[in-house]
Amino acid sequence: MRYFSRPFATAARGTALGLLAFSPAVLADNAPAQAGQVLELPETNVQATLGQTSATAPFTGYKADRAQTATKTNTALNETPQAVSVIGSEQLRDQNAQSLAESLRYTAGVNAGQRGRRGLDDFIVRGFVQSAYKFVDGMRTDSDMWIQSDPFAFERIEVLKGPASILYGQIAPGGLINQVSKRPTDEAFAEVGMGLGNYGQRKYTADVSDKLNEDGSLRYRLVGLYSSSDDIVDYVDRDRSYFAPSLTWDINDDTSLTLLASYQKSHYVPIRGLPAEGTVLGNPNGKIDRDRFVGVPGIDDYTTEQQMFGYELEHRFTPDVTFRQKLRYTEYDLDGAFSSPTTLAANKRNYNRQVQWRDVKGEVFTMDNQLNVLLDTGPFSHDLLVGLDWFDFHTDDTRHTSTLAAIDLYNPNYNVSPGAKTFQANTSGTEDLQQGGLYLQDQIKFGDGWNLLLGLRHDESELKSHRGSTRTSTDENATTGRVGLLYAFDSGWSPYISYSESFVPVTGSDANGKTFEPETGEQTEIGLKYQSPGQAFDVTFALYDLKRQNVTTTDPNNSGFSVQVGEQRHRGAEVELHGRLTEKLDLIATYSYIDAEITKSNDGFQGNRPVQVPEHMANAWLRYDLSSVLPGLGVGAGVRYIGEQAGDQANSFDSPDYTLYDMMVDYKTGPWRFAVNGSNLTNKDYVASCASSAQCFPGDPRMLMFSTSYRFK
């Protein structure tokens, strides 16, 4: 890592500092001689290149035409040879999504919120836990930060399915979630909103954008919210505040700079789950009430703060050569405690537990430099992307534990106090990760509809960990690739095939002192996309074979060590439809099938199904315009089905399947919008999933909210 990381760091910092030197030259381009050149460029081309409006701006309805997560360029979805889902602001509004997990409920291949309401963004993509790989504006955030995103902050949410290391470096094989921030708009507006619901739900929002000078080259946006609620579980409450200012400066006709900042503070009493016996399995003492709190009132509580600041710079040297740079600095702080259940006692009543205390402080620096070149070589048209990115992460984690008396799940006594704090030296300490990647991607068009995607990347990373008296250092490098081929017929059908790879460094060493190789992932995907005439709706069919390799499992000859012989294989099928079927009917419909298996293991689990991976998932949401009955009236309804899931690694039991129903009624009149939303309308008592026999996670109860908003123009 040493010989490679220094050039990466130098290039990254040098490019950032170079912005200062670059800006005066950019400002000089405002000379009158330059102004005449603007007329030579079509206006639509300028907007698409500078602002990438079609890939970051809101879109009408439930269907997006373009996205940038899969290629880091403004690419049409029906020309992208990999499955991508896009959730836009209208869908987020209509479904009244209050968390990232709720935003992903109607997305094929995604099982979100499987660990209940613990205050984190939990999601599984194609059967793999991907919660650590949450991106904002195409750059990774930190997985150690226990914070929930609020969908109100984002213009759209894009889901890339399958390995993505070619563009994003180290990442598990299931895929990634990229949240696209709201940015200043060309048209001035202001909107305020309020929501009230059961369990003490309150939410207040504001969203304002306007120009700061006469020609509109300098624009701002302010996004803010406050929300709070109680819960069906006793003693549980939460609140969240968020503020995000942004500023866009069109420095000249070829250069644009957007500053993005945000501050979020959250308070949360986490829900830690209940044992399988008494929830999904029988218990001689009866069923455990789903409002049962297993922590200590006043102790179980954590607070997080997160600040982000960064910019996105874009400069067009010529109509066919564009440079882009993204940079962001993030600082976060987590402080709190939670009761952690361990086992259920022999009497099937007492739930053994302890208290875990955490104080975490961290910093993340990310940068991504891209040079995008459009060129023709004979009959081939190239969209060439050369990139250099950098990820620098530091965290300081202090942990304590306290003993805690077991709780009687059927007759709880909350008048207890934890024991004295015990410092956990083996899990406390610091961690530093530096990763640099150089990538090359070429999107090639030829013939009447052929689209060939080629990508190659080389990464070097260094991970240093200091936990107690143990110091480890892992230097890893990896080269990953991707290739895809798609043919776009004039009829709207686009068959495709693709292959992609991923890697994740693994810390530690085997019994012989040999450091572990990175975990790797590889996926082969074939599919068929369809876009209707007029681009009213689209359909994606995908079949995939996805492997995770070099997984650590117990060394059969040295139980205190691990060996890298583990493997998982997930094969699946997905169908996803978005868009407008008639002038009045919008529809989202998805189906997912996942055949997941642990194909190699020394732990005795070979041949088993991984936990929290349903074999079948199906969702449908429709919105119908009832303006013919009453102008401005609309209704929506949804159904979600999650199949049974393995409850523990031994596959000794399953958590049952469940079906949930959602609804929406809204009415628009002038600048006003009024809406009523409901989820889990039948108030079904269900378990979202189980991680083990000791921990199953109750699902959400019936949630109702009335909301209203007023838009100024």
Residue 232, domain CATH: 2.40.170.20
The C-alpha torsion from 23 through 24 and 29 to 33, rounded to 10°, is 180
Count of domains observed in the chain: 1
Contact 651, 607 (CB under 8 A): no
CA distance 353 to 344: 9
Domain range holding 148?
2-262+301-331+494-712
pLDDT tens track for 254-309:
999 999 999 999 999 988 889 999 999 999 999 999 999 999 999 999 999 999 99
Q: Which two tokens stand for residue 384?
A: 């060439």
Residue 359 in domain: no
Specify the pLDDT at position 473.
80
Contacts of 347 by beta carbon, 8 Å cutoff, 6+ apart: none
CA distance 159 to 67: 10
**Residue 354 DSSP SS3:** strand
Contacts of 138 by beta carbon, 8 Å cutoff, 6+ apart: 68, 69, 72, 178, 326, 368
Residue 598 has a CB neighbour count (10 Å cut-off) of 21
The C-alpha torsion from 553 through 559 and 560 to 561, rounded to 10°, is -40
Contact 255, 198 (CB under 8 A): no
The residue-averaged pLDDT of 584-597 equals 97
Q: What does pLDDT average to over the chain?
A: 89
Residue 271 in domain: no
The residue-averaged pLDDT of 40-54 equals 41
Q: How confident is the model at residue 7 (pLDDT cuts 50, 70, 90)?
A: very low
Contacts of 560 by beta carbon, 8 Å cutoff, 6+ apart: none
Residue 239 has a CB neighbour count (10 Å cut-off) of 14
Q: Which of 21-30, 149-158, 552-561 is modeled with the greatest confidence?
A: 149-158
Specify the pLDDT at position 54.
57
Specify the pLDDT at position 144.
61
**Residue 415 DSSP SS3:** coil
Residue 366 in domain: no
Specify the pLDDT at position 17.
39
Structure-model confidence comparison of residues 336 and 9, the more confident one = 336
Q: What percent of the chain has pLDDT over 90?
A: 77
147 has pLDDT over 90: no
Q: Which of 10-14, 117-121, 233-237 is modeled with the greatest confidence?
A: 233-237
Q: Which two tokens stand for residue 66?
A: 């373009």
Contact 130, 112 (CB under 8 A): no
Residue 349 in domain: no
Contacts of 261 by beta carbon, 8 Å cutoff, 6+ apart: 244, 245, 246, 307, 308, 309, 310
Residue 633 in domain: yes
The closest alpha carbon to 374, from 82, 65, 75, belongs to 75
Residue entry with tokens 């029988």? 282
Specify the pLDDT at position 45.
36
52 has pLDDT over 70: no
**Residue 124 DSSP SS3:** strand
Q: Which two tokens stand for residue 27?
A: 């400002």
Contacts of 5 by beta carbon, 8 Å cutoff, 6+ apart: 434, 436, 460, 462
Bridge partners of 404, per DSSP, are 353
Specify the pLDDT at position 46.
36
Sign of CA pseudo-dihedral 54, 58, 59, 64: positive
Identify the burial level of 222 via C-beta atoms within 10 angstroms of its C-beta, where 0-12 means exposed, 13-18 middle and 19 or more buried.
middle
Residue 705 in domain: yes
Residue 110 in domain: yes
The residue-averaged pLDDT of 68-90 equals 95
Radius of gyration from C-alpha coordinates of the chain: 26
Q: How confident is the model at residue 564 (pLDDT cuts 50, 70, 90)?
A: confident
The C-alpha torsion from 612 through 613 and 615 to 618, rounded to 10°, is 80
Contact 428, 399 (CB under 8 A): yes
CA distance 464 to 252: 44
The residue-averaged pLDDT of 554-578 equals 83
CA distances from 647 to 277, 553, 696 (A): 11, 20, 8
Residue 473 in domain: no
Identify the burial level of 531 via C-beta atoms within 10 angstroms of its C-beta, where 0-12 means exposed, 13-18 middle and 19 or more buried.
buried
**Residue 521 DSSP SS3:** strand
Contact 546, 570 (CB under 8 A): yes
CA distance 120 to 133: 13
- The amino acid occupying position 169 is G
pLDDT tens track for 182-191:
999 999 999 9
pLDDT tens track for 591-617:
999 999 999 988 889 999 999 999 999
pLDDT tens track for 444-492:
999 999 999 999 999 998 888 888 888 888 888 899 999 999 999 999 9
Give CA angle at 132 (130, 136), nearest 5°. Answer: 100
